[in-house]
Amino acid sequence: MLRKLPVFTLGVEEEYQIIDPNTRDLRSHMSKIVDGAKIFLKEQVKAEMHQSVVEVGTNICQTVADARKEVSFLRRKIVDLASEQGLVVGASGTHPFSKWQDQPITDDPRYHMIVKELQDTARSNLIFGLHVHVGIENREIALHIMNQACYFLPHIYALSTNSPFWEGRNTGFKAFRAHVFAKFPRTGLPEYFDSVQSYDNFLETLVKTNCIDNPKKIWWDLRMHPFFSTIEFRICDMCLTVDETICIVALIQAVVAKLYKMHMMNTSFNIYRIALIRENKFRAARYGTDGLMIDFGQKTEVPYKELMIELLDFVDDVVDELGSREEINYVHQILKTGTGADKQLQVFEDGGHDLTKVVDFIVGEFTKGI
């Protein structure tokens, strides 16, 4: 008889846009929001490379319900602090029209070092993501799950698509953020590792050869965190609403729990070539939930929504034990009403292609459901 699942703790990081309510452009908050937040939130809030970005992170959460409370609290607190500076807050993978050339870099040695090395690749990285940590103490099991979970990254990514615009243009993609980030080294889908030793040897080689000064500069879509006992999902766009964020958090936790359960039963999910999974990632970025994805087992194209229903069936036997059925079921709402990208594009069409209306929509959705 299979023993009870362990607690798969969660940590959620969100990156917010700080916006001028008059121009609707991104606006530097001159560290005032971060400095004000640190009084209440300590290390849960920090500046990012660009001064118009604020990153927040939850405490370690035992359940998805705990994560919802934390994310809701953090969103509300940052809105209040921004309001004190005459600013507003929004959530999207990219800003609809702000240009990176106009955005000052945060005065911090870490960011100065990155810009010195990567130049315009770093300066132009004006993007906003959602990162989800799932706690796993055993590194061998964590690597095993990481290798298998790569298959599901495009499925999860499609649900989060929320960056259709870049520098005032409709890009034709539901998620353009990943294409901006792809200019960075050590991004994208991780390769397969057959052991923790080979994984550690890889990191050690990069450090010893001065490719990186610490393993945190591995910016893959999914990674074993170098300092925490977590696997970190980094592929998702920043979500419009708390409901969408928490739905994706719940789905990620359920995938990890299911793969863990299979491992404990001496079974495993198929490992597919990263080059094949990359094809599905492109389709997710281009079409979101409306396109076709590849079922590699059947070697055929399948409507994304059918594959997502299969994924929900796949994780169904762990959802109730995780206590996240309500949050998981929100997937059906996203499939019905569209992702953040779909909603942004609808506002764009209905508003006569006025991108300021899209910004107003992003801001208006930020605290929806809190």
Residue with token string 């292609």: 353
Round to whole Å and give the CA distance between 231 and 44. 19
Q: What whole-number distance in Å separates Cα of residue 250 and Cα of residue 58?
A: 15
Q: Give the confidence band of 1 by pLDDT, cuts at 50, 70, 90.
A: very low
* CA angle, residues 78, 181, 228, in degrees to nearest 5: 65
Asked if 8 contacts 134 with a C-beta cutoff of 8 angstroms, the reply is yes
The tokens describing 142, both together, are: 């964590």
HEC readout, 249-303: HHHHHHHHHHHHHHHHCCCCCCCCCHHHHHHHHHHHHHHCCCCEEEECCCCEEEE
293-302, Cβ contacts within 8 angstroms, sequence gap of 24 or more: 293/154, 293/155, 293/158, 296/151, 296/270, 296/272, 297/270
- Low-confidence winner among 114-118, 186-190, 298-302, 347-351 (lowest mean pLDDT): 114-118
Domains of the chain, start order = 10-365 (3.30.590.20)
Residue 102: DSSP 8-state = G
pLDDT in the model for residue 163: 98
Q: Residue 180 corresponds to which tokens in the numbers above?
A: 């901006």
d(Cα 368, Cα 340) in Å, to the nearest integer? Answer: 13
Output the CA–CA distances (angstroms, integers) from residue 209 to 46, 98, 113, 203, 284, in the order listed: 30, 37, 17, 10, 35
Residue of 254, 365, 355, 227 lying closest to 312 (CA atoms): 254
Residue in the structure block whose two tokens are 């870099």: 105
Q: What is the average pLDDT across 170-182?
A: 96
Question: Is the CB of residue 291 less than 8 Å from the CB of residue 280?
Answer: no
Structure confidence at residue 97 (pLDDT): 98
Write out pLDDT tens, residues 52-99: 999 999 999 999 999 999 999 999 999 999 999 999 999 999 999 999
Q: Give the chain's mean pLDDT.
A: 94
**pLDDT(14) > 80:** yes
Band of pLDDT at residue 104, cut at 50, 70 and 90: confident
Give the least confident one: 55-64, 101-110, 250-259.
101-110
CA nearest neighbour of 348 among 174, 87, 177, 178: 174
Place of tokens 């319900």: 65
CB contact set of 169 (below 8 Å; sequence gap of 6+): none
Residues 305, 306, 311: CA angle, nearest 5 degrees: 95
Label the pairing between strands 187-188 and 219-220: parallel
pLDDT in tens, 305-342: 999 999 999 999 999 999 999 999 999 999 999 999 99
Q: What angle do helix axes 325-337 and 304-322 make, rounded to 10 degrees? A: 160
pLDDT of 3 reads 59
Percent of the chain surpassing pLDDT 90: 82
d(CA 117, CA 124): 13
Helix (H) or strand (E) holding 310: helix 304-322
Which 8-state DSSP code applies to residue 7? P
DSSP 167: T
What average pLDDT does this structure show over 134-158?
Answer: 97
Identify the CA nearest to 338 among candidates 221, 178, 164, 181.
164
Largest CA distance in the chain: 62
